[in-house]
Amino acid sequence: MVSRVIPVDPFDLVIFGGTGDLARRKILPALFRRFCAGQMQEGTRIIGAARAEMDDVDYRAFVAEALIEFNDGHGCEEGTIAAFQRILSYVTLDALGENGWADLAAKMHDGRVRAFYFSVGPSLFGALAEKLHEHGMADSDTRIVVEKPFGRDLSTAKALNRALADHFDEGQIYRIDHYLGKETVQNLMAIRFGNMLFEPLWNSQYVDHIQITVAETVGVGGRGEYYDRSGAMRDMVQNHLMQLLCLIAMEPPAKFEPDSVRDEKLKVIRALDEVLPDQIVRGQYLAEGDKPGYLDHVETTDSTTESFIALKVHISNWRWAGTPFYLRTGKRLKARSSEIAVVFKATPHSIFGPEAGRHRNILTIRLQPNEGIDLDVTIKEPGPGGMRLIDVPLDMTFTEALGPDAEDVADAYERLIMDVVRGNQTLFMRGDEVEAAWAWTDPIIAGWETRGDDPIAYESGSSGPEEALALMHRDGRKWREVRA
Ligand code: NAD
C-alpha cells in the first residue's frame, strides 16, 4: 500500500506566534513533514511572525533546531532541512501595535491561498483580525486558523466569534480541534458509515452505554497558571471529548461535507441533557514521592480547579434516549490512553444456560497509543467440558493490519493544516458548534461553583477518584481499565 500525496498549489502561510511552543512542537514539524512528503510545490512560503527581534537567517536556524528536537525521528534525507529553510522567512510584528504589519503585507502574493495561523493567546485574535483587515490582507483568498481555547465560556466565545466575523466569513475561519485530525477519529466515521454491520445496531436498542476516556500520565507541569484558570472541563471536555461524543452519536450526514457533518454534530450538542450534580465527579491529583501534586503547580494553594472529571451524560433524542454516555479525562492517571468503547447489550436470552455467563460485544476505538480498533466477540472456550463462553478481541492495530505505511500516516496537525490550504472545513468546528458546547458546559460549571463543590483528591498513577468508579458501579456498569 502506498500513501498518495496530492501536491497543493503554492500558498502563503503566516504563523502568528511563530516562535511559540505550539509552533515549535507541532505546527513547524507538521509543515516540515508535508514538505518532505512532497506536498508543497515550488513557491510555497511559510512566514513566522512574532514579537521576538529576528531576521530570516535567525528564524531559519530557530526552526531547524525545533525540527531536530521535535520531529520524532521522521526520516528526511540530508539536505531537506536546508531545502525547507529556504521557504521560511520571518517578520517581527506586534499584534497590538503598528510594528511589522507593512512588512508582512509586502510579503504577500496576490491570487493564491493565504492562511494565517493564530498560534497566540485568544486575547489577540480580535486584534489580529482587525490588523489583517486594516493592512489589506483579509480578502476572499484569506483563511484564518484559530487554536483552542476558543473562549472560557459562552459569552467570551461569542465575543471571539463576533470579532472574527467583523472581517471574515464563517467559511474562512478554521477552528482547530486536533482530535478531529486524528486518523482513528476519522476512521470512526468510516466504520460507522462505510460498513453495513454497525449502523443498524448503533442506537439505544442495542447499545448499553458508551465510554469515552482520555487519560494522561503527565501533570499540569509548567502550564499550571493557565490550567488553573481552566480545569479539565474547559480544557478537555468542552472541546475534545465533546467532539468525540458528537461523531459517535450524530445521525448519518447526507454527505461527507463540512456543513452536512457539522449540522449533525450541532444537533447532538443541542440534544444533551442538563447534567445533575450526582452525575459529575471532579478530582485533583496528589503528590507522589518526588512528583508534585496539583496544588504544588499552581499559585492558589486552595485552588478548587479539577485535574480530573467524570460525567454521565444523556442525549435526549430518538436514537439515544436511555443509553448513557460516560466521559472521563484526567491528568496523572495510571496510563496514557484514549479510547471510545461502545458497549453493546447482552443477548436477550442465553441458550447456553447460566453457567455460560452473559457476554457483551464491545467495539473499542483506540486513539492512543496503538491507534486501532478492537471488537470483542464471544466464542466458545476451546476444549471439552461443556459450553463455556469467552470474549476474544478481533484486533485491528493499524500498524499491524496496514503495514509500515500506517506508521507514516500524517499526524493530526499535518492533515488539518493541509485541509486549511485545500479549503476543506469538515474537520473544523463551526462557530455555532463551539457556542452550543459552551452553552451546555456553562451551567455545569456554574452549578459546582454555586454549590462550592471541592474536587476529590486522587492518587497519582491511579484511575482517578473512587467516586468516579462508583458513578458507573451504581448503574451496574464498570469503566474499562485505563491501560497503555
Ligand atoms: P507561547 O507563549 O509559547 O507563544 C506565544 C507566541 O505568541 C510567541 O511567538 C510570541 O512572540 C507571540 N506573541 C505574544 N504576544 C504577541 C503580540 N502582541 N504580537 C505578536 N506576537 C505575539 O504560546 P503557545 O504555547 O505557543 O500557545 C499559543 C496558543 O496556542 C495559545 O492560545 C495556546 O493556548 C494554544 N495552544 C497551545 C498548545 C501547546 O501545546 N503549546 C496546545 C494547544 C493550544
Q: Binding site for NADP(+): what residues are annotated? A: 17-24, 51, 148
Phi then psi for 215, rounded to 5 degrees?
-110, 135
Q: Do 226 and 95 share a structural domain?
A: no
pLDDT at 484: 77
Alpha carbon nearest to ligand 1 atom 1, residue: 20
Residue of 16, 21, 53, 125 to mutate, ligand 1, most atoms within 8 A of C-beta:
21
Query: Last residue of some domain: 147, 165, 194?
Result: 147
Question: For residue range 80-118, what is the model confidence (pLDDT) as tens digits?
Answer: 899 999 999 999 999 999 999 999 999 998 889 999 999
Which segments of 71-181 does DSSP mark as H helices, in order? 80-85, 101-107, 125-134, 154-165
Give the pLDDT band of residue 350 (cuts 50, 70, 90): confident
Distance CA 302, CA 283 (A): 14
The mean pLDDT of 452-479, rounded to a whole number, is: 96
pLDDT at 330: 98
Check if the beta carbon of residue 207 is closer than 8 Å to that of residue 201. yes
Residue 441 has pLDDT above 90, yes or no: yes
Question: What does 276-297 look like in DSSP terms, one character per residue?
Answer: PGGGEEEEEEPPBTTB--HHHH
Alpha carbon nearest to ligand 1 atom 42, residue: 22
Q: Do 24 and 109 share a structural domain?
A: yes
Q: In what order do the strands lie in the sheet with 362-368?
A: 389-397, 372-380, 362-368, 337-344, 207-215, 325-330, 308-313, 280-285, 456-458
pLDDT at 36: 92
pLDDT at 405: 60
Give the pLDDT band of residue 476 (cuts 50, 70, 90): very high
The C-alpha angle with vertex 124 and arms to 119 and 127, in degrees rounded to 5, equals 120
Instruction: Give the three-class secondary structure for 362.
Output: strand
Residue 409, number of CB atoms within 10 A of its CB: 16
Check if the beta carbon of residue 114 is closer than 8 Å to that of residue 57. no
pLDDT at 406: 60
Give the rounded percent of residues in the chain with a pLDDT score beyond 90: 79
The mean pLDDT of 149-169, rounded to a whole number, is: 97
Residue 120 CB–ligand 1 contact under 6 Å: yes
Residue 39 CB–ligand 1 contact under 6 Å: no
Q: Do 391 and 458 share a structural domain?
A: yes
pLDDT at 398: 66
What is the pTM (predicted TM-score) of this model?
Answer: 0.94
The mean pLDDT of 336-347, rounded to a whole number, is: 95
Q: Do 223 and 107 share a structural domain?
A: no
Residue 328 belongs to some domain of the structure: yes
Give the pLDDT band of residue 150 (cuts 50, 70, 90): very high
Phi then psi for 87, rounded to 5 degrees?
-95, 0
Residue 154 belongs to some domain of the structure: no
The mean pLDDT of 323-341, rounded to a whole number, is: 97
Which segments of 195-241 does DSSP mark as H helices, in order? 224-228, 231-232
Distance CA 129, CA 185 (A): 31
Check if the beta carbon of residue 239 is closer than 8 Å to that of residue 150. yes
The mean pLDDT of 283-301, rounded to a whole number, is: 89
Amino acid at 49: A
Considering its fold, how many domains does the chain have in total?
Answer: 2
Q: How many angstroms separate the alpha carbon of residue 19 from the centre of ligand 1?
A: 8
Q: Do 405 and 301 share a structural domain?
A: yes
For ligand 1, what atom is nearest to the CA of residue 26? 40
Distance CA 240, CA 380 (A): 39
Question: For residue range 370-403, what is the model confidence (pLDDT) as tens digits?
Answer: 888 899 999 998 888 788 888 998 877 766 667 6
Report residue 386 as a C-alpha cell.
461443556
Q: How many angstroms separate the alpha carbon of residue 27 from the centre of ligand 1?
A: 12
Q: Do 366 and 251 share a structural domain?
A: yes
Residue 109 belongs to some domain of the structure: yes
Distance CA 284, CA 296 (A): 11
Give the rounded percent of residues in the chain with a pLDDT score beyond 70: 95
Distance CA 240, CA 149 (A): 11
Residue 465 belongs to some domain of the structure: yes
Amino acid at 172: Q
Q: Judging by beta carbons within 10 Å of its beta carbon (0-12, 13-18, 19+), is residue 444 exposed, middle or buried?
A: buried
Report residue 424 as a C-alpha cell.
476543506
Residue of 26, 120, 152, 413 to mutate, ligand 1, most atoms within 8 A of C-beta:
120
Query: Any idea which residue has 452505554 for its cell?
Result: 209
Residue 1 belongs to some domain of the structure: no
- The CATH number of whichever domain residue 398 belongs to comes to 3.30.360.10
Residue 95 CB–ligand 1 contact under 6 Å: yes
Q: Do 229 and 141 share a structural domain?
A: no
Residue of 14, 16, 19, 22 to mutate, ligand 1, most atoms within 8 A of C-beta:
22
Quote the mean pLDDT of the chain. 93
Q: How many angstroms separate the alpha carbon of residue 76 from the centre of ligand 1?
A: 28
Question: Annotated catalytic sites, by residue?
Answer: 240
Q: Do 135 and 223 share a structural domain?
A: no
The mean pLDDT of 460-476, rounded to a whole number, is: 96
pLDDT at 393: 87
Residue 3 has pLDDT above 80, yes or no: no
pLDDT at 5: 85
Q: Binding site: what residues are annotated? A: 17-24, 51, 148, 178, 182, 216, 235, 331
Residue 173 belongs to some domain of the structure: no
Residue 342 belongs to some domain of the structure: yes
Run of H or E residues at 375: strand 372-380
- The CATH number of whichever domain residue 138 belongs to comes to 3.40.50.720
Query: Last residue of some domain: 94, 129, 147?
Result: 147
Q: Do 194 and 142 share a structural domain?
A: no
Residue 455 belongs to some domain of the structure: yes
Q: How many angstroms separate the alpha carbon of residue 119 from the centre of ligand 1?
A: 5
Q: Do 369 and 244 share a structural domain?
A: yes
Q: Do 254 and 123 share a structural domain?
A: no
Residue 191 CB–ligand 1 contact under 6 Å: no
Residue 404 has pLDDT above 70, yes or no: no
Q: How many angstroms separate the alpha carbon of residue 95 from the centre of ligand 1?
A: 12
Computed on alpha carbons and rounded to an integer, the radius of gyration of the chain in Å comes to 24
pLDDT at 483: 84
Q: Do 203 and 127 share a structural domain?
A: no
Structural domain for 138, as ranges = 12-147
Check if the beta carbon of residue 161 is closer than 8 Å to that of residue 431. yes
Question: What does 104-122 look like in DSSP terms, one character per residue?
Answer: HHHHPPTTS-EEEEE-S-G
